[in-house]
Structure 1
Amino acid sequence: MTSVLGCRKIKHNNSTSLILNFRYSLSIISALLLLGIFYLLPFLNEFFFFFGFEQLLSANRCSLYPHSHYWIASKRIVTPRGIVSGTVEIKGGRIVSVLEEEHWQKSVKSLQVIDYGNAVIMPGLVDVHAHLDDPGKEEWEGFPSGTRAAAAGGITTLIDMPLNSVPSTVSEETLGLKLQAAAGRIYIDVGFWGGLVPENAFNASSLEGLLKAGALGLKSFMCPSGINDFPMTNISHIKEGLLVLAKYRRPLLVHAEIPQDDAGYLENKDGRDNPRSYDVYLKSRPASWEEAAIKDLLTVSKDTRTGGPAEGAHLHIVHLSDARSSFELIKEAKKSGDSMTVETCPHYLAFSAEKIPDGDTRFKCAPPIRDAANKEKLWAALIDGDIDMLSSDHSPSAPQLKLFNEGDFLRAWGGISSLQFVLPVTWSYGQKYGITLEQLASWWSEKPAKLAGLSYKGAISIGYEADFVVWEPEVEFDLDENHPVYHKHPVSSHFLTTLSVYLYDRHTACNFSLWYFFSKECTLVWHRGLECVLFYDQISLVWS
């Protein structure tokens, strides 16, 4: 059993005082995960390109609001140079020093120090792939519940996808609607991808307007997305999009599946196949779909090489599930100098097709979860550095769309609800493969921040924003139906019962006790015309 920190003693001028843990520049949200207590987060002041916190203080709420300059200490701080025992100094919401233990005892005399002992202090997670369905489909998720669940999973920055909201984010105007919807309704830092669709792909001014308005990059589908106002793109659309993105040095994220001759299989027109069978669904979206899409992408990804027409743009393949032929193609492209990265997701690393029960549509996603041998190859590629990063691909829906009663994999909405569980799932399942805290920080913080162009996030290093998660890897808890879940529809998450049974059957446990740390209130940098350009000059020179 474990509980998250309630109140900590803070050393100050050789005396001890109790400071309640909800802070201004580094807001600690105190929660008792096993007991189900999650303190309400403050309302937000304004929306920015990235949204920050404005603390709402009260007599019974934990707060470090008056303390703009203080230290946090631990024997395990995950930094770019490895794990150190020491302290991190925070001033004005930024990290101003990181001292190892032998140095900080002499240096820190009159400053406030919060000592977390042996708990791990790690950069807050940056999730570059999530669907919050807001505005327009708040009954699916929405900014409040989605960002709250993200906070409960150690995510301090989230980049929202441009589809599953109404309307989809494919123009400067529709991005404005999303910004309005997020104002005052988010509990972590949030940014947005824009959409590359046929209607804007050949309209450079439209794409530039979307990027200038604050989109961090673009996202496209090479197969039907299931959303009417977000149609699929072909390779010509992608080629044009890369040319515009090159000017702004930003990425294109691609859902890489192209339906082959068996596309009609999804409809099960003759009724001969059992729609409750996961194997039937798996065969309806074979690995050949991913392979075909990646082969097409490689015809234009070479344009991103040094000296190419799209130099400065970057191609990012989202949620790779095929670790066989598709992955070999990606490796070769990287070796040739294509500016390309790839992500996979915890559900592809935790589960395998052979173990998915018939009718359990919580496991339906696209691309699908593949077989156990494929899962082992994904882990190997991730550990070897060939897969660059992880994301949640949190894609919830209203429960009735999952068709739980019918268990029809072919008609149920596809999507995994996972924001709250990505850190414990990655760590717990990764123990079999000997993953390290440094690898975890790279996959979930450093590399995703780089993809999004957030040069001030993703590491515990001088000058970076003070976004942290503090957790205890050795402490166990049972992730079952009694565990508090902050997604709008907890029943939709496949991690709730399966993870607990899987882990305990193997005499392991989901090791996860955490505290939440958040960034300072962000500076308003984007809403006055040229200030947006200045902001991007600061953060977007990532792929040069």
Structure 2
Amino acid sequence: MELGSTVSAVRSTRVLVGDQVRPAVVVIKDGKIHEIASSCSFSEDVACQVLDVGDSVVMPGVVDCHVHVNEPGRTSWEGFWTATRAAAAGGVTTIVDMPLNSIPPTTTLDNFHEKLREATGKCFVDVAFWGGVVPGNQLHLRPMIQAGVAGFKCFLIHSGVDEFPHVNDSDLHTAMKQLQGTGSVLLFHAERDVWEGKGETGDPCQYSTFLRSRPDVMETEAIRVVTELCLQYQVRCHIVHLSSAKPLKLIEEARQAGAPLTVETTHHYLSLCAEDIPAGATQFKCCPPIRGSVNREQLWSALKAGQIDMVVSDHSPCTTNLKKLDSGDFTQAWGGISSLQFGLSLFWSSASKRGFQLPDVVRLLSQKTAQLCCLDSRKGCLAPSYDADLVVWDPDREFEIQEENIHHKNKLTPYLGLKLQGAVRATILRGRLVYEDGSFCAEPLGKHLLIPQKTNQAQL
């Protein structure tokens, strides 16, 4: 079948329907799933474009709600063309772009419109957008909600880029008042500068030196602030990239007390551990940091118990020189990990060994992520009336991450040379075949997803 063509139906012996894997045909009309038919009851029309994928698994495309595309302004780091091609190659059919590290950041209505213009005609998958909360931009929040941002992100510590400053307690209370009644969500980079041990020295090329500079207490104290705000204002709050298992008790207590609070972790916190990071290997640096193996297993346990709601990439690329590989200095290197293309395979490689099943993959990588950004009425589910966004993949097939197969703009990643389980064969976006076996459709078919607000507009 030609790339970019419209698919009428997808047939497989392994279609994930609800919590069951069974033979089925996903029938598609006008870019939507029309029905899930049994193989025996499906009668093939002569003009029907049926994609028969044999025994490959067919399930909803991944919704990655934490991606730094960096366009406009830092397109040498990444851009919509390369990021969304990488997404398609990894079975991701929807990404949600973070408000930084682009210049300008998505913190005003004008900046949001500039972001939309820059993204036009460059997206191979569908893209939604987060706005940002920074000091002094409170009057821009509701106009951005009306314009269709999925919600807002803020930092409780320096963000790494000066044009996206972090907020203080006063800024947070002001923002919460603006968001009350809107149905929107506030995302928190939950680290606080509360640690007293900064005078401590060590070899900057040793990962342990960097790890000591961002201890668990920084996350715990930030999350304490988030839980109190969430309970006080009853505004939806979300903790991004949880790296430490220590604050989980705080999160659970807040939820039991009625806080509308969700939490994500990332593929790197679940796949990697501090003990295995070599000296000078700055491609492993991210903030919060990758912690020890005991902590990693605690995150997996929390994921299985439902204490962590979803798993995302936090794809945060940069140019090679910013990683300071020549000096190997963790204290000076940019903190961010590239993994957008490999999230599904990374997750499955580890999760399948810990008793997770295919329905868990969909719940954690597609359904819950779509729900966070109010896309769950059209994305993240294999059911009639949903967008026909499908990933076709072989969970048992192994492959090695090699530089020539990486579609991110910058190929530096801690996963280079890693063997993973679960290879993506094809990606279908709203009924169009956008990726198959290393090749992409010629033109980008992705759309901008502007989030309709459920609240009464009079409140805004």
TM superposition score normalised by structure 2: 0.91
| 1:238 partnered with 2:172 | yes
* Cα drift, residue 124 of structure 1: 0.7
Measured in 2, the distance between the counterparts of 1:349 and 1:539 equals: 40
Q: Which moved more, 1:517-526 or 1:248-257?
A: 517-526
Measured in 2, the distance between the counterparts of 1:276 and 1:217 equals: 38
Q: Is the 1:402–1:413 contact (alpha carbons within 8 Å) kept by the matching residues of 2? A: yes
* Cα drift, residue 524 of structure 1: 8.8
* Cα drift, residue 424 of structure 1: 0.7
* Cα drift, residue 80 of structure 1: 2.7
| 1:375 partnered with 2:356 | no
Residue of structure 2 in register with 1:516 after alignment = 427
Deviations 1:112-142 (A, max 9, x none): 4322221101111111101011001001111
* Cα drift, residue 87 of structure 1: 1.2
SS in 1 for 2:396: coil
Decide whether aligned partners of structure 1 residues 514 and 195 sit closer, same or farther in structure 2, where only a CA change above 3 A counts.
same
Amino acid at match of 1:391: V
Measured in 2, the distance between the counterparts of 1:391 and 1:184 equals: 25
| 1:286 partnered with 2:267 | no
SS in 1 for 2:351: helix
Q: Which runs of 5+ in 2 are unaligned?
A: 432-444
Residue of structure 2 in register with 1:297 after alignment = 226
| 1:224 partnered with 2:158 | yes
Measured in 2, the distance between the counterparts of 1:523 and 1:96 equals: 20
Residue of structure 2 in register with 1:476 after alignment = 398
Deviations 1:337-396 (A, max 9, x none): 210110000100111100000100000000000000000001111122111001110101
Residue of structure 1 in register with 2:434 after alignment = none
| 1:536 partnered with 2:453 | yes
Amino acid at match of 1:322: S
Amino acid at match of 1:172: L
Measured in 2, the distance between the counterparts of 1:359 and 1:462 equals: 50
Q: Is the 2:183–2:454 contact (alpha carbons within 8 Å) kept by the matching residues of 1? A: no
Deviations 1:189-234 (A, max 9, x none): 1111000011113x3xx21111112211000001110211211112
Decide whether aligned partners of structure 1 residues 496 and 365 sit closer, same or farther in structure 2, where only a CA change above 3 A counts.
same
Measured in 2, the distance between the counterparts of 1:273 and 1:522 equals: 47
* Cα drift, residue 522 of structure 1: 8.0
* Cα drift, residue 523 of structure 1: 8.5
Decide whether aligned partners of structure 1 residues 193 and 525 sit closer, same or farther in structure 2, where only a CA change above 3 A counts.
closer
* Cα drift, residue 100 of structure 1: 3.2
Aligned partner of 1:91 among 29, 35, 38: 29
Decide whether aligned partners of structure 1 residues 419 and 523 sit closer, same or farther in structure 2, where only a CA change above 3 A counts.
closer
* Cα drift, residue 262 of structure 1: 3.0
Q: Whose radius of gyration is greater, 1 or 2?
A: 1
1:29-68 to 2 correspondence within 5 Å? 63-64=5-6
Amino acid at match of 2:51: I
| 1:365 partnered with 2:286 | yes
Residue of structure 1 in register with 2:89 after alignment = 152
| 1:74 partnered with 2:9 | no
Decide whether aligned partners of structure 1 residues 469 and 79 sit closer, same or farther in structure 2, where only a CA change above 3 A counts.
same
Q: Which runs of 5+ in 1 are unaligned?
A: 1-19, 24-62, 304-309, 501-508, 527-531
Amino acid at match of 2:348: W
Decide whether aligned partners of structure 1 residues 250 and 84 sit closer, same or farther in structure 2, where only a CA change above 3 A counts.
farther
| 1:493 partnered with 2:404 | no
SS in 1 for 2:36: strand
* Cα drift, residue 539 of structure 1: 13
Q: Which has the higher contact order (CA 8 A, sep 6+)?
A: 2
Aligned partner of 1:332 among 253, 256, 260: 253
Measured in 1, the distance between the counterparts of 2:380 and 2:218 equals: 33
Measured in 2, the distance between the counterparts of 1:346 and 1:74 equals: 28
Q: Is the 1:235–1:297 contact (alpha carbons within 8 Å) kept by the matching residues of 2? A: no
Amino acid at match of 1:383: K
Residue of structure 2 in register with 1:12 after alignment = none
Amino acid at match of 1:494: P
RMSD of aligned C-alpha atoms?
2.1
